[in-house]
Chain A
Amino acid sequence: MIDIQSLDLFYGEFHALKNVSMFLPEKSITAFIGPSGCGKSTLLRTLNRMNDMIKTVKIKGTVTIHGNNIYEPEVNVELLRKRVGMVFQQPNPFPKSIYDNVAYGPRIHGTKKKSELDDIVEKSLRDAALWDEVKGDLKKSAYGLSGGQQQRLCIARALAVNPEVLLMDEPTSALDPISTLKIEELIQQLKEKYTIVIVTHNMQQAGRVSDQTAFFLNGEMVEFSETDTIFSNPVDQRTEDYVTGRFG
């Protein structure tokens, strides 16, 4: 479904992604692993064009989603981002109520009817496994939630615009182990409906949640295959060194 072909990305002179090609099947979970600075976040941001905001960025190659190159000039970035949602490393709810956080996306895209919004909010919060904890007080400020709840709220907010793809950049790195576990379970469930890409520094997490794993080093994709293969029987020596912890 997502097909990345010979992708090169430059920050000014700096070559941050080098000839990356990979195919991410529909309704699968892909993990990006690799040492800090190897380009995982950069690659993730090419998938919803959040790199557009950085003025120095130059991109070569193609990223096609359902056969359409998202870097064609006529592509509407807003609609692309509606289809390809994103969850950030730090939980970043808006300083608004829980309800308004989740309803933000649908409102942006033109949903006005209260009943419709109510339904979307409930469904999204249920899908993000947060509904039972907050249903009594949707008018409460999102800032009153715990870090783990805030992150699930951000997931609900991303789901509310009904995306096909969900990009997650180290979604649990700011969370405690129990919240982390909850989110991992959640990611497993979301796989039924969404294509998920997750960046993680946590090897166990990649092993637990993902179907396939890509290992990056200095902007190159060293190895990409089934998660089991990457962890138990990698082809490249560098992959083996990294996943066994003998590296960086």
Chain B
Amino acid sequence: MKNFELQHIQRRKRSNRIMHILFLFSTMIGIVTLGILLVQIIAKGSGWISLDFFTHFSSRFPEKSGIKAAFFGTLWLMLITAPLTFIIGVSTAIYLEEYAKNTWLSRFIQTNISNLAGVPSVVYGLLGLTIFVRLFDLGRSLISGALTMTLLVLPVIIVAARESLKAVPNHQRNASLALGANPWQTILRVVLPSAMPGILTGSILSLSRAIGETAPLIVVGAASYIAFVPNSLFSDFTAMPIQIYSWAGRPEESFGQLAAAGIIVLLIMLLGMNLIAIMLRNKYQRS
């Protein structure tokens, strides 16, 4: 081999090695930062997690403070938002993908939905404030918050459900139709069972993103200081990220630790939801 060819090969090897290290380094930046953050939060907050933390409301005194109101607020938000978004989102996706495929209307709606999925969440908050709080006169209530969250999550779920429906091969639909099934029977018995793992995973993942949303809830009027568990759809409410935000803003050291404890709980909730998503997916894939 000629000398300059050898040099060339060595140069390419070297540049490959350098790029390899650069990419590894970029990856590490993310992982290490996340690691440090987690360690810090756990070190700071884990001492505050006890049964009392879950049974007490927020208070002026850090030792007496707990996340009961926020924990149940978030739970209620999710319990209302999850079925609403699932039903509306999956129905919309079915309409767009199975009934109105490639029509002018469906293309128009699809473009808009994809755009909506990228709208900043605070804008949804303003929308919720205008429509639910003021126009429908629902006030600064749990239901206003939940409906706002539903709007926020809906585009993401629709997109995820559409992708799952699209992934069901057409020969499955044809097999069903050729046996004399009508379109709805085909959707119910063939398309949806195949698409369900993807739809469920997408739904839970988008909900678990919504669980950490703060801005729209603040705009809609979640309170940060509440000493009761929501007892009706029209109660005042607060939610985990808002409670955390409010604690974190306090100058006292111990409130900072409370915030860290709240973050740990929120993270566990998130992990739990993702775990459910994974389990559901595995369960459906096996059967």
Contact = CB atoms under 8 A, between A and B. Distances in A.
How many residues of A sit at the interface, in one of the four size bands? 20 to 34
B180 A81 contact: yes
A223 to B, nearest CB: 29
A50 B177 contact: yes
Given A88-B174, A108-B185, A81 B179 contact: yes
A200 to B, nearest CB: 19
Interface stretch (A8-16, A90-98, A125-133, A210-218): A90-98
B175 A94 contact: yes
A50 B174 contact: yes
Contacts of A53: 174, 177
Interface string A85-122: 11010101111000000001100110000000000000
A109 B178 contact: no
B190 interface: yes
B179 A157 contact: yes
Interface residues of B, number: 17
Contacts of A157: 175, 179
A185 B178 CA distance: 24
B179 A92 contact: no
Q: Which of B176, B178, B185: most chain A CB closer than 10 A?
A: B178
A108 B175 contact: no
A92 B171 contact: yes
B178 A85 contact: yes
A92 B177 contact: no
A82 B180 CA distance: 5
A108 B177 contact: no
Contacts of B177: 50, 53, 81
B150 interface: no
Q: Which of B171, B180, B190: most chain A CB closer than 10 A?
A: B180
Nearest to B286: A141
Nearest to B168: A95
Interface in B184-240: 185, 189-190, 193-194
Contacts of B176: 94, 104, 108
Contacts of B180: 78-82, 105, 108-109, 161
Nearest to B185: A108
A86 B177 CA distance: 10
Nearest to A90: B171
Contact of B178 (A55, A81, A95): A81
Contacts of A161: 179-180
A172 interface: no
A78 B182 contact: yes
Interface in B4-29: none
Nearest to B173: A53
A220 B177 CA distance: 28
Nearest to A158: B179
Contacts of B178: 48, 50, 81, 85-86, 88, 158
A92 B194 contact: no
Contacts of B181: 78, 104-105, 108
B194 A104 contact: no
A154 interface: yes
6 contacts: A92-B175, A94-B175, A95-B193, A108-B181, A154-B175, A161-B180
Interface of A: 48, 50, 53, 55, 78-82, 85-86, 88, 90, 92-95, 104-105, 108-109, 154, 157-158, 161
Nearest 5 CB-CB pairings of A with B: A82-B180, A81-B180, A86-B178, A105-B179, A92-B171
Given A82-B180, A108-B179, 15 more contacts: A48-B178, A55-B102, A80-B180, A85-B179, A92-B171, A92-B172, A92-B175, A94-B190, A95-B172, A105-B179, A105-B180, A108-B189, A154-B175, A157-B175, A161-B179
